[in-house]
Chains A and B, each alone.
Chain A
Amino acid sequence: MAKRIEVSGLHAYYGQVHAIEDISMSVEPRSVTAFIGPSGCGKSTFLRTLNRMHEVIPAARVEGKVLLDSEDLYGSEVDPVAVRRVVGMVFQRPNPFPTMSIYDNVAAGLKLNGMRGKSRLDEVVERSLRGANLWNEVKDRLNRPGAGLSGGQQQRLCIARAIAVEPQVLLMDEPCSALDPISTLAIEDLIAKLKEHYTIVIVTHNMQQAARVSDRTAFFNIAGTGQPGRLIEVDDTSKIFTNPVEKATEDYITGRFG
């Protein structure tokens, strides 16, 4: 049930600040698309426009179109809350709900949207935790607080929480930047597995990670401080990393940036 994302002419602003300028690209279903680029180039901002999380920040606004299988996410009739149920998100720092147990964290999205029935919830929690490769580690302590897990486990818990609501698309904003290499590997394996069912977009600062996990890569850059971020190039990952069209992309991935 993964969906295709088609972005055209997208601009995002924070008040008067023009954060990203005129982005058009498409994201294929059941694939991993990586966003790379220097800090402040608008990768995360762009990612957040894909599930209307950008506008949660006061004075932030978006112009342009984001089509999810031909439906415009920014249509006037569209409820941002409904968009976020279809396009899930995992954040840079693991953020389990501190007042909730492991079980409740995973069930949160469903419970808070009014789903009842213990056996159904049990089933979803187990499926989601298995899906996030965490079930075996926590199955005996589902009632313990989620904040008691290690950083890598917490991040997988957050992934389980995100996939429990069965989104079509999963956005990941540097999901491994706060984790050690072992946990990173666990998450990367998980991404490879999740790609069979979901459309995945991942922001990463780690070029090797982009090369390892993604099918397509988009490179973003800024002309200078205060300038809006721009999409420089998007193509198959193998092409971006071996034979990019733009010189800026080549400079960045070979470390000749700046």
Chain B
Amino acid sequence: MSLAKHGSAPTSLTSVSMGRKVKDRLVQVLVYLAFALAVIPLVSVLWMVIKNGIGRFDLDFFSFSQNGIGPRDAGGGAYHAIIGTLEQVLLTSVMAVPLGILTAVYLVEYGQDRRLARTISFFVDVMTGIPSIVAGLFILAFWLLLLGFSFSGFAGALALAILMLPTVVRSAEEMLKLVPNELREASFALGVPRWRTVCFVVLPTALSGIVSGVMLAVARVMGETAPLLLLVFVTSSINMNPFSGPQMALPVFIWDQAGQPNDTAIARAWTAALTLILIIMALNLTARLIARLRRPASR
């Protein structure tokens, strides 16, 4: 500062060379540009869905099914599809989340470098690559054709669980690996058995990360259409029982309505898309809230 005041030659402390300034600005612009590019599709999707979906975002939509309503008719709703999606994804999560987290616990806490752990790890990687239609066909061949069950929300949930499982395992595994080994040792040194250490020290420490991983998996599975078409089929009426008969689901509803050549049906499809996004967002927020409330433990 004082040097500059005295008008002496700029020293290396006070001046940055022109080249560096230009480079700095250039990289800054590039970073902001990349950010903007990444945000454009996100914002435009949200904008389109809200703009087109808000028209039918009314009470009817959430309280009526499509029973007896043709594609050209106004009104009707996605009540049956919302029920179907919630039930199917709940069943999926009940199957895939505990199994996934337990698998991750085995891989990180018990498997170490055993052959079994490496084998499981390999097959989890393979499962990650299964296309959803293949999972659907597998359950179709196994559950419907071989064992002779018929279309149901549960059959769909089985296929969705296959898709959800590897995502849950991988994300939970990453989170468990982040838990410092010192915490496990501290717990062992207190004479706490391994399983209690896992339940009361390791899992709570990794909880918020595991919750976000599970939410991502739920979001992914909630938007799946192909296996549901094969296994749950399509219906326009309300079926509360996920264990028997065809059910509707939101992604299938969107696919069904968007395929009709009528504005009324297409408007319903947009609103269903908006509903799906909102459900996933709401679930995400609740899960984060729960994770946060549980964080700094009190007495």
Give chain A's interface residues, CB within 8 Å of chain B. Answer: 51, 53, 56, 58, 81-86, 88-89, 91, 93, 95, 97-101, 103-104, 108-109, 111-113, 142-145, 158, 161-162, 165
Contacts and interface: CB of A to CB of B under 8 A. Distances in A.
SS class, residues of chain A in contact with chain B: mixed
A93 B298 CA distance: 24
24 contacts: A81-B191, A81-B193, A84-B188, A84-B191, A85-B190, A91-B182, A93-B182, A95-B180, A95-B185, A97-B183, A98-B183, A99-B201, A103-B299, A108-B192, A108-B201, A112-B190, A113-B192, A143-B299, A144-B296, A145-B296, A158-B186, A162-B189, A162-B190, A165-B190
A97 to B, nearest CB: 6
Interface in B138-173: none
Nearest to B205: A99
Contacts of A93: 182
B69 to A, nearest CB: 51
A88 B189 contact: yes
B172 to A, nearest CB: 16
Given A101-B297, A145-B296, A109 B191 contact: yes
A257 B185 CA distance: 33
A91 B186 contact: yes
B25 interface: no
Given A53-B185, A58-B112, A97 B205 contact: yes
Contacts of B191: 81-86, 109, 113, 165
B187 interface: yes
Contacts of A91: 182, 185-186, 189
Nearest to B114: A58
Nearest to B189: A89
B289 to A, nearest CB: 17
Contact of A99 (B182, B189, B192, B296): B296
Contact of B296 (A56, A86, A101): A101
A109 B187 CA distance: 7
B78 to A, nearest CB: 40
A143 B298 contact: yes
